[in-house]
A and B are shown apart, each in its own frame.
Chain A
Amino acid sequence: GDSVTQMEGPVTLSEEAFLTINCTYTATGYPSLFWYVQYPGEGLQLLLKATKADDKGSNKGFEATYRKETTSFHLEKGSVQVSDSAVYFCALRGGSNDYKLSFGAGTTVTVRA
């Protein structure tokens, strides 16, 4: 079945550092890919998405590119802030008739001032 493998955390960075969180997937067909973020004490929010190969999702300075050849969707941000401290989840959804989201294990990111 579909699955997502996500870089394990926790990750601790200094402000203005570069952040990468690796995510690879296994799926049949042509999945859509997502990054969700869970800030401390808050609910899960969609951060960005990509629905087909070579699409780049971007939001709040974060980017991720859907790479079919490497089955990857790595999350990157060039200069993190303390406010980016959160748990980040990579997720995939199968074909158009499949509503199920399969989540990675989550990566806890802490940014220090």
Chain B
Amino acid sequence: SAVISQKPSRDICQRGTSLTIQCQVDSQVTMMFWYRQQPGQSLTLIATANQGSEATYESGFVIDKFPISRPNLTFSTLTVSNMSPEDSSIYLCSVEKAGAYNEQFFGPGTRLTVL
């Protein structure tokens, strides 16, 4: 398994501002992902965070709105830019380790409320 921490655990932000969410894993992992869970909804993949290169975004998500960094094999950040109330969601980091094919482990999530 993997122990994943996210900061902050929750935040309340004003529209038009930006928030950066951090994801830290206790060991090196091959893959890191960012998901969004809107209120009462399921999880949707935002992007795959690639170490040393630009993230790979899913349809409907763009780098200008959700810039992602992954400077090493244990850490990634997701920024939610120019926020609006529609960005109010839980943002989750997940990881997959080499040798643990087909098992993604999820962080505790960051609950974001935009006023």
| Residues in A lying within 8 Å of B, measured CB to CB | 32, 36, 42-46, 49, 51, 89, 93, 96, 99-101, 103-106
Check A99–B109 contact: CB distance below 8 A: no
Complex: how many Å from CA A99 to CA B31?
A: 8
Q: Which of B43, B48, B106, B108 contacts A99 (CB 8 A)?
A: B48
Q: Main SS of chain B's interface residues?
A: strand
Residue of A nearest to B96 (CB): A99
A-facing residues in B76-104 (Cβ within 8 Å): 92, 94, 96, 101-104
| Residues in B lying within 8 Å of A, measured CB to CB | 31, 33, 41-45, 48, 58, 92, 94, 96, 101-109
Complex: how many Å from CA A32 to CA B100?
A: 13
Known interface pairs A99-B31, A101-B43, A105-B42; A46-B108 also in contact (CB < 8 Å): no
Complex: how many Å from CA A104 to CA B96?
A: 20
Check B43–A100 contact: CB distance below 8 A: no
Residue of B nearest to A41 (CB): B108
Check B43–A103 contact: CB distance below 8 A: yes
Check B108–A106 contact: CB distance below 8 A: no
Residue of B nearest to A46 (CB): B103
Check B58–A49 contact: CB distance below 8 A: no
Residue of A nearest to B59 (CB): A1
Measured between beta carbons, the chain A residues less than 8 angstroms from B45 are: 100-101
Q: Which of B48, B58, B107 contacts A43 (CB 8 A)?
A: B107
Known interface pairs A43-B92, A99-B48, A100-B58; A105-B41 also in contact (CB < 8 Å): yes
Check B104–A42 contact: CB distance below 8 A: no
Cross-chain pairs A/B with CB under 8 angstroms, 15 sampled: A43-B109, A44-B94, A44-B106, A44-B109, A46-B105, A49-B102, A49-B103, A51-B102, A96-B101, A99-B48, A99-B96, A100-B58, A101-B94, A103-B44, A106-B42
Known interface pairs A49-B103, A100-B58; A89-B42 also in contact (CB < 8 Å): yes
